Amino acid sequence: MLPRAPLLFGRDPAPGLLAFDLADGGRALRLWRRDADGAVLAELAPFAPFVLLADRDLVAGAAGLLALDALDGPGDLRWLARFASWGDAVAARDRCREHSGQPANAPAAPYRFLADPVHQYLLESGRTSFGGLAFEDLRRLALDIEVLTTEGHEFPSAARPDDRIIAVALADSTGFRHVVRGDRLDERALLEETTRLVRESDPDVLEGHNIFRFDLEYLEARARRHGVTLAWGRDGGALRGRPARLQIAERTIGYRRYELAGRHVVDTWMLAQLHDAGTRDLPGFGLKDLARHFGVAAPERTYVDPARISREFVEAPDRLMAYALDDVIETLGLAAVLAPPYFAQAQVLPFDYQSCTLRGAAAKIDALLLREYLHRRHAVPLPRPPAPVGGGLTVILQQGVARPVLHVDVTSLYPSLMLAGAIAPASDTLGVFGELLRHLREFRVEAKRLAREHADPAARAHLGALQQSFKILINAFYGYLGFSGGHWNDFAAADRVTAEGRAVVTALLERLAQLGAVPLEADTDGVYFVPPPGHTPAGDDALLARIADGLPPGIQLELDGRYAAMFSYKMKTYALLDARGRLALKGSAFRSRGIEPFQRQMIEEIVRCLLEGRRDEVRRVVARWLDDFAAHRVPVRSFARTETLQESPETYRDRVSAGARPASAAYELALASGRAVQPGDPVSYYVVGRSAGVAVNEHARLASEWDPAAPDENVEYYQAKVREVWERFRPFTEFDGLRPPAPEPEPQQSQLSLF
C-alpha cells in the first residue's frame, strides 16, 4: 500500500476515527472510532479552540483566554489565541468583529475564526478520518420518503395539516431492507419506528437523494408537529439543521444542512451536482436518470408516476412500497459510485467526511496549507485582493466533419507547469504549496499503478478512489491561486501559469501542422486533429514522440482518444463518434439544460446523421418532428422545460418590482402553486396558446397539468423551435468535410419556413 506522508495524511495516524462532535460544554471533542474487532467506541479528546490574529490587542481581556502565542515568519496573522471552550472562542470572535468592524469571513479581516470545531481540532491535532479503513468498511444507511399531497394541491408541503409521510424506505450496506409503511402506522408511530430502526442499524453514514432539501426537512417538520424527537445521533441526540449554501461552478444552492452526532449525512443529489461540474455528462439529476446513467438501476425495479403517488397509496399500496424500496436501493448504489473519492479525501484533509462532500476544492487546498503552517507555528498571510488573470488558449480552426480524429492531451498541464517552473504563491515562504503538489502527483501515479496491479478487488477500488481524489486536489491547485478567499492566493502566479499554458498549446498546434496533421480545435490543454496522411494506429507512439519533440521540460503528452469522426460545430462545441458507434456531445449548445429535451434529442439525431455521412437524412428528421408536433405525438416530458430557481421568492418579487429582471414563468408558476420554494428547486412547465410569438410567462402551465387526452401545447411555438434547430445545422448539410470557421450568423427571427 501507499506509504504515509505526514504532509498529506496528517501527523497523527490514529486509526479508525469515524466521526467527531463537541462535548463537555465545548471543552472537548467526542471521538467515535472503530476498533480492530469492528466495535464502535467513543472517547473524549481535549480541545482548546483558537483564533488567529493580526493584532493581539483584539482579544485583550477576553474571557477564557488560555494562551496567546506569537507565530514565526512574515504572515499577517501572527498570533494564535487559545481558549478554554468553544463558547469562549465564539465570544472572542464577536469581540474581534466589534473592534475591527469586519466579519470573520471577510478576506481582509485582521483575525480568522474557523467556525467548524471539528475542522479546528483536525488542523491542530494532525489527525484525519478513516485511518486503516476502506469505503466498504463504512456502515451506510440510505433513506427515502414518500409523501401524500392533499387533493387540489400540486406540490407536497410539510406545513399542510392533511399532507403526511406515507412511507420511509431504508436500506443499508449490510443487506438490511425495510419500508416503514404509512398504511399500517399513523404518522407519529411511523416517525417513532423510523427512529428505532435508525438507532438499531447504527450507521456511520446516512445517505439520501436530495435528503437535505426534501426528506430531512419534511421529516423534521412533521416530527415537530407530532412532538417526536428524531433522536438519530450516536449519543441519542436529535437531528440538527441550519441554513447553508453550496457554491458549485456558477450555481449557488441553498439548503438546510443537517448533522447527527457520531454520523455523517451525505446527499447523492449534491454529489451528482459536483460530478457534473467537472464532466458535464449527466442526463439530469433525478434519481432514476442517474441510476440508469451509472448502471445501478435494478433491472426489474418498480416505477410509479410521481403525480400518482397519492392514488397508488389508496389503490395499490404494495406497489408504492416496492417503488419506495427500489428508490432507496438505487440511492445506496449511487452513493457507492459517487462517494468513494470523498471518503478518500477525508483520509487526507482536516475536514470530516460530511464536510468533504460540501466544501469547495480551493478551500481544501487552503486547509492543507493551513495545517502545515500551524504545525510549524508559522504566521499565516491574509488573502490578496483580486487581479486580472488570462485564460487558457481556446481556438477552433476547422468546422464540419473530420475523419478520423485523434486527441492529444498535455498530462496535468497546469500542475506540470507549476512544478517545472516552480510557480507558487509569493506568500508561501515555507514552500508548502509546491511540496504538497509534488507529493500528490507522486502518490497519484503510485496509486494508479497499484490499482492496476493489485489482485484484491476491494484494494483496487480503494486505490482507485484515492487516485481520483488526488486528481481532484491536483487540478485544484491552479484554481487556488485565483481563489479570493485563499490565504496563499496569488493572481500574478495564476496569470503566469495560463500564459505558459497558452505557449505550450500554441507550440503543439505549430508542431502538428509541421507534421502534416490538420488541427481542428484546441482547448486549454489538448488538441483534436486529423493525423498526417498514411498514419495508422501502430504508429501512435512514434507520432506522439514527434509531436512532443521540442516541448518544455516536464511536459508530457498522452494520446487521450481516437475517434472515427468528429463534428466541429463552434468554439468548445463538438461531437465525437467512436469506433463502436457511440456518440458523445460536448458543449452547452448541444447539452444545455436551458433548452427543451426534444431539442437535445433532435440535435443528437442530426449530429449522428452528419457524422455517419447521411447529410440527406437531416431534412427528414426535421420534417418528422414538425409532423409529430402537429399530430400531438410528442409526450410532455419531451417539450416541457425545467428551470432551477436561482433566488428566493422574496428576492425575485423585489427585483421584478424594481424592474431589475423580467417576470419568470418558473417563478410565477411555483408561487401560484402555494408551495414553499427556495433556490435550487426545479420547476417544469410547457407553453400553451396559439402562435410562435406568445409571451411565455403568460402562457405557461406546470408539466404535471398536461393531459394526453386533451393536449393543449402550443404547436406553432414548438414547431418554431424545431425550425430554429434546422437553421443552426442547415449550413453543415450543404458541404462535406471541413472548412474554416465562419462568423456566427445573425438570428433570423422571422424565418420559420423549413426548406
Over residues 141-192, the pLDDT tens digits come to: 999 999 998 876 666 788 888 899 999 999 999 999 999 999 999 999 999 9
Tell me if residue 404 falls in helix, strand or coil.
coil
From-to residues of CATH 3.30.342.10 in the chain: 6-133
Confidence of residue 466 (pLDDT cuts 50, 70, 90): confident
Residue closest to 462 by CA, chosen among 79, 57, 134, 119: 134
| Closest to 271 in 3D by CA, of 181, 178, 322, 340 | 340
pTM recorded for the entire structure: 0.87
Q: How far is it, in rounded angstroms, from Cα 327 to Cα 337?
A: 16
Cα separations in angstroms, 686 against 23, 660, 665, 670, 723 = 53, 25, 9, 13, 18
Better-predicted residue by pLDDT, 680 or 597: 597
What cell does 354 get?
Answer: 460530511
Q: Which of 404-413, 526-535, 550-559 has the lowest mean pLDDT?
A: 550-559
Is pLDDT at 105 greater than 80 in this prediction?
A: yes
Q: Residue 671 in 3-state DSSP?
A: helix
Cell digits of residue 346? 477525508
Burial of 325 (0-12, 13-18, 19+ CB in 10 A): buried
Strand ranges inside 507-652, DSSP E: 518-523, 526-530, 557-563, 565-570, 573-577, 583-586, 641-644
CATH of domain 394-557: 3.90.1600
Q: Provide the pairing of β-strand 164-172 with 140-148.
A: antiparallel
Task: Determine the 3-state secondary structure of 166 from DSSP.
Answer: strand
Which of the residue ranges 78-82, 235-239, 284-288 would you say has the lowest mean pLDDT? 284-288
Instruction: Identify the pLDDT of residue 136.
Output: 93
Q: Given a cut of 60, is residue 1 above it in pLDDT? A: no
Range of weakest confidence among 20-34, 570-584, 636-650, 706-720? 636-650
Angle between helices 413-420 and 432-453 (to 10 degrees): 130
Asked whether the predicted pLDDT for residue 608 surpasses 70, the reply is yes
pLDDT at 614 over 90: yes
- Which amino acid belongs to residue 455? A
* Architecture in CATH for domain 139-344: 2-Layer Sandwich (3.30)
* Mean pLDDT across the chain: 92
Instruction: Assess contact for 92 and 51: CB atoms under 8 A.
Output: yes
What is the distance between the alpha carbons of residues 565 and 582, in angstroms, rounded to a whole number? 11
Q: Give the closest residue to 230 by CA, choosing from 267, 258, 250, 254.
A: 258
CA 472 – CA 470 distance, rounded (Å):
5
Given this model, what pLDDT does residue 755 score?
Answer: 34
Written as nine digits, the cell of 698 is 403568460
Contact between residue 477 and residue 415 where contact means Cβ atoms under 8 Å apart: yes
Helix (H) or strand (E) holding 469: helix 457-481
Q: How far apart (Å, rounded) are the C-alpha atoms in residues 224 and 216?
A: 12
C-alpha cell read off for 618: 437531416
Fold of 592-739: Topoisomerase I; Chain A, domain 4 (1.10.132)
CA dihedral sign of residues 269, 271, 275, 277: positive
C-alpha cell at 518: 490538420
Residue 423 φ/ψ region, left for φ over 0, alpha for ψ in the -120 to 50 degree band, beta for the rest? beta
C-alpha–C-alpha distance, residues 469 and 480, integer Å: 16
Lowest-confidence segment of 142-156, 461-475, 665-679 by average pLDDT: 665-679
Helix (H, G, I), strand (E, B) or coil at 223: helix
The answer, yes or no, to whether residue 753 has pLDDT greater than 80, is no
Q: What is 6-133's CATH topology?
A: DNA Polymerase; Chain A, domain 1 (3.30.342)
Q: What is the CA radius of gyration of the chain?
A: 28
Residue 451's pLDDT band, with cuts at 50, 70 and 90, is: confident
C-alpha cell of residue 302: 418498480
Confidence band for 745, pLDDT divided at 50, 70 and 90: low
pLDDT, average across residues 615-630: 97
Q: Computed from CA positions of residues 53, 55, 56, 57, in that sequence, does the dihedral angle turn out positive or negative?
A: negative
Q: Evaluate if residue 124 carries a pLDDT over 50.
A: yes
Whole-number Å distance between alpha carbons of 688 and 280: 31
- Ordered alpha helix ranges (H), 614-733: 618-630, 636-639, 649-657, 665-673, 715-729
Provide CATH 3.90.1600 ranges for the chain.
Answer: 394-557
Residue ranges of the alpha helices (H) in 183-247?
Answer: 187-201, 216-226
User: What pLDDT is stored for residue 680 in this prediction?
Assistant: 64
Residues of the chain with CATH 1.10.132.60: 592-739
Model confidence pLDDT, tens digit, residues 6-58: 998 999 999 999 999 999 999 999 999 999 999 999 999 999 999 999 999 99
Q: In the β-sheet with 50-53, what is the strand arrangement from edge to edge?
A: 65-70, 79-83, 50-53, 111-112
Express as a percent the part of the chain with pLDDT over 90.
76
